[in-house]
Chains A and B, each alone.
Chain A
Amino acid sequence: MKTATITLKTTPTLYLEADVITPDAFAGKSKDEILALPVYEGRECYKLGDYFEIAGEIGDTPENTKIVVNGDCSKVKYIGAKMSAGEVIVNSSADMYTGAWMRGGKLTIKGNVDSFSGLGMEGGEFTVEGNGENYIGASYRGDWRGMQGGVLRVKGNVGSDIGTFMNGGTLIVEGDADVHIGTHQEGGTIIIKGDVNRRVGGQMVKGTIYIFGNMNYMMPGFKYTQDVELEVDGYKGTFAEYIGDLGERHSKSKGQVVYGKLYRKK
């Protein structure tokens, strides 16, 4: 794998929309071609080279391309969006839509990410070492396809509405989360190791949510069934199992009704 390093030299006045910072867009291109890729600030189109400089080597395929992003990218959106392979490491915070619709490869953000990161993610490994905001791993507004695959891990805290319309993959939050977790969830796994507020699994049809910490209020559509011994992301212990959301439609599999499952650590 070859590594290219891009460094932010000009901070955008507004926000920079740079969905070209992906191994897919970089692979097989010369440095000049990469610096000529289009980015947007407001309604104007600029070149990537107007903001970034580049060093290192570029791989011939996305699989062989690693991009290290230096400089303060907290005003850069769409880093790693729709990437299918290779690796991207951002050594600072990134703005909204980071890793949105990501299909494969590895994306690591050393700082925080803003809302809508990992939106509709389909595959790959996405790690945020800081905090996330709202709608992490959710669906785009109006869409019914939230996170569908891959692993999204936030080591800090997140905001509200994470995993909305999630139907696959694993979303792990090692800190706390605010309201609306896994709303309309139709599959996949959400693990919150810290505390949550309320409205967990509202209108959940399928899938699994694990809550390790405190929950302020439980949704009335969930029913306790049993205590179970489980191993969840390296932790072994007893969890209380609930099924729900009982107010929602549920499909049948082999004669059994399929419910969403909510586990609370005991």
Chain B
Amino acid sequence: MSEILIKNGHVFDVVTGIKGDKADIAIKDGKIVDKVSSKAKTIDASGKTVMAGALDIHAHVAGPKVNLGRWFRPEDKMIRGEMRGGIVKETTRMEQGFSIPSVFRTGYSYARMGYGFAMEAAMPPLYARHVHEEIKDTPIVDEAALPVFGNNWFVFEYLKEHNIEKTAAYISWLLKVTKGYGIKVVNPGGTEAWGWGLNCLGINDEVPFFDITPGEITKGLIEANEYLGLPHSVHIHPNMLGDPGNAPTTIDTMKLAEGYKAKNKFGREQLLHMTHLQFHSYGGTGWGDFCSNAKEIMDYVNKHPEITFDTGNVTLDETTTMTADGPFEHHLSALNHLKWCNVDVELETGSGVVPFIYSPNVFPCAVQWAVGLELALLAKDPMRTMITTDHPNAGPFTRYPRVFKWLMCKKTRDEQMASFKHSGKVADATILNEIDRELTLYEISQMTRAGPAKALGLANMMGGLAPGMNADVAIYNLNPAKMPTDPEEIEKAFSLSAYFLKNGEIVCQDGQIVHSGTKRTFWVDAKAPESKQVNRDVREKFLRYYTVTQANYEVPDSYAPNPFVIEANANV
């Protein structure tokens, strides 16, 4: 493989501790190295920003729920997409869609923005094959998927007896057969309750017929996660997503992690990753007195190093909501009267899809926009704060540069705030106007690179530019010594990187895809003592309840032709 030297760029990197100083980055054989020979190809990055490739810790980018969105929203391609994306160019494939982009557009868009890793945030185990088919077809960007465990019958039955060993044995088996990365929990107990037309609206709200509560499920899964020593922590979408007045439930959920200790060999410190926290930081009793509770939430998060979170910023676009939180989607369709789709995934989970327009003219949407920004701006530890849009739920991931712009420039926030139809009411219901903080490029690099890498247990290989790490490097047309006076330039620079190198290869140059990369599928082989009882239970459930046989359930190796397997060992 070739050698590359990136010269004179302004480097922002947590791992090497460089905060905007000029430094050269040397690359050999897909890794960052100390130095390269004189034959190395040189990239002149003077006057440009250099960062490690970014990591997206939470996005819905592959699998049946995403595809459901594509099926029932043809208008997302026609009206919002580029109508003429369909012509095959020399090296790249056609790109389509706006909020639910095609797999090719997904890979290319991430590469253009300098992202090298994306976590598919909710894999229904039964449909893991579909998830891996799409991951395989998404070019360039490395991906992994989190199977959902929060509404799983096995988990309910084992945790009802508080049997962590059996829960862990089941998780170990499931991660292996689905090629999953870690433990995702979506509305614990609530999606199962939805099968009976009910929901769980708090951590002590019992799941019908299972005699277990969301709190018990979450605590049990945290214990199982640390018993298995997985690279990532439990990744939770708590109960009551999107409901006015849900902040106390969110704080109750975070408290469940108190008293435990992270046990793993990957350098991960958190016990609970709170995802799309924006949707869980609301006060009020209804849509009339709907307001931000970001301060209350962040007061807790700032004091508790066992919590990491991602923001879930609303981008004020027309988008497609999709989640394993079936009851929430039903609730949403009753609010906006648009089309609704619901799927029940047998013993494991469910999901729903509804299009949604985050209109600046609608009061709650404007408040949601402010809440997401408040969370990131109130965060004291950028390493535990990650920027997402819960793609595509709060907006498409292609809007990350716009979110960076809002976070880096108070003026643009003030302008947006003033332009809302109900700007006075929105200002009263939020505290965004009082926050003067503007994030620095170094903080952006913490929130999008080193932070997510550490939270995912990938800090030794991703999110930094130290020798030995993956040569994922993004170079942006942004001169930190002479920051543009027009904030739009910030958004533009992050949207179309000057260069993006993935595993030491230039895949994007001047915003154009020039190479299809060598994408990898990450999954975790969690080694745990085998349980004969669990094996028997699995066999039994397949015979009695599943519509497929156990032999047809496993994801064959051919579905992940370029795997990167991380081995974890249980702390027995």
Contact = CB atoms under 8 A, between A and B. Distances in A.
A143 B87 contact: no
A140 B75 contact: yes
Interface string A36-64: 00101001010000000000000000000
Contact of B78 (A38, A45, A140): A140
Contacts of A38: 84
A40 B87 CA distance: 10
Nearest to B334: A249
Nearest to A19: B83
A145 to B, nearest CB: 8
Nearest to B73: A142
Nearest to A144: B338
Interface string B73-89: 11100110001101110
Interface in A60-113: 101
Interface string A136-167: 00011111100000000000000000000000
B79 A143 contact: yes
Contacts of A101: 79
A219 B86 CA distance: 41
A249 B74 contact: no
B72 interface: yes
Q: Which has the most chain B C-beta neighbours within 10 Å: A40, A143, A249?
A: A143
B339 A140 contact: no
A142 B74 contact: yes
Interface size class of B (residues with CB under 8 A): 10 to 19
B84 A40 contact: yes
B466 to A, nearest CB: 46
B96 to A, nearest CB: 14
Interface in B476-525: none
A43 B75 CA distance: 20
B337 interface: yes
A53 B84 CA distance: 24
Contacts of A19: 83
Contact of A142 (B72, B86, B88, B337): B72
B84 A143 contact: no
A40 B73 CA distance: 24
Interface in B58-96: 72-75, 78-79, 83-84, 86-88
A47 to B, nearest CB: 14
A221 B144 CA distance: 50
The majority secondary structure among interface residues of chain B is: loop
Contacts of A120: 79
A45 B87 CA distance: 8
A36 to B, nearest CB: 15
A44 B314 CA distance: 38
Given A43-B88, A249-B337, A143 B75 contact: yes
Interface string A163-176: 00000000000000
Interface in B79-115: 79, 83-84, 86-88
Nearest to A142: B74
Interface in A175-225: none
A50 to B, nearest CB: 16
B201 to A, nearest CB: 25
Nearest to B94: A43
Contacts of B78: 140, 143
A144 B88 CA distance: 30
Nearest to A44: B87
Nearest to B77: A142
Contacts of B337: 249
B75 A141 contact: yes
Contacts of B72: 142
A85 B78 CA distance: 22
Given A140-B79, A249-B337, A43 B74 contact: no
Nearest to B337: A249
A249 B338 CA distance: 12
Nearest to B83: A19
Nearest to A40: B84
A142 B33 CA distance: 52
A19 B79 CA distance: 13
Contacts of A142: 72-75, 339
A249 B335 CA distance: 12
A58 B339 CA distance: 44
Contacts of A43: 86-88
Interface in B515-543: none
A46 to B, nearest CB: 11
B408 to A, nearest CB: 34
A104 B49 CA distance: 45
A183 B339 CA distance: 15
Contacts of A45: 84, 87
B74 A141 contact: yes
Contacts of B338: 144
Contacts of B73: 142
Contacts of B74: 140-143
B237 to A, nearest CB: 27
B7 to A, nearest CB: 39
A144 B84 contact: no
A140 B83 CA distance: 13
Interface in B366-416: none
Contacts of A249: 337
A19 B78 CA distance: 13
B172 to A, nearest CB: 42
A240 B380 CA distance: 68
B351 to A, nearest CB: 19
A144 B78 CA distance: 13
B572 to A, nearest CB: 52
A144 B79 CA distance: 12
A141 B83 CA distance: 15
A204 B87 CA distance: 39
Nearest to A101: B79
Interface in B410-424: none
A143 B338 CA distance: 9
B317 to A, nearest CB: 16
Contacts of A139: 75
Contacts of B79: 101, 120, 140, 143
Nearest to A139: B75
A24 B240 CA distance: 47
A20 B75 CA distance: 20
Nearest to B75: A143
A142 B75 CA distance: 6
Contacts of B83: 19
A131 B75 CA distance: 26
B392 to A, nearest CB: 16
A109 to B, nearest CB: 22
A120 B79 CA distance: 10
Interface string B408-442: 00000000000000000000000000000000000
11 contacts: A40-B84, A40-B87, A45-B87, A101-B79, A140-B75, A142-B74, A142-B75, A143-B75, A143-B78, A144-B338, A144-B339
Given A43-B86, A142-B339, A143-B74, 16 more contacts: A19-B83, A38-B84, A40-B87, A120-B79, A139-B75, A140-B79, A141-B74, A142-B72, A142-B73, A142-B74, A143-B75, A143-B78, A143-B79, A144-B338, A144-B355, A249-B337
Interface of B: 72-75, 78-79, 83-84, 86-88, 337-339, 355
Give 7 nearest A-B pairs by CB, closest first: A143-B75, A142-B74, A142-B75, A141-B74, A140-B75, A140-B78, A142-B73
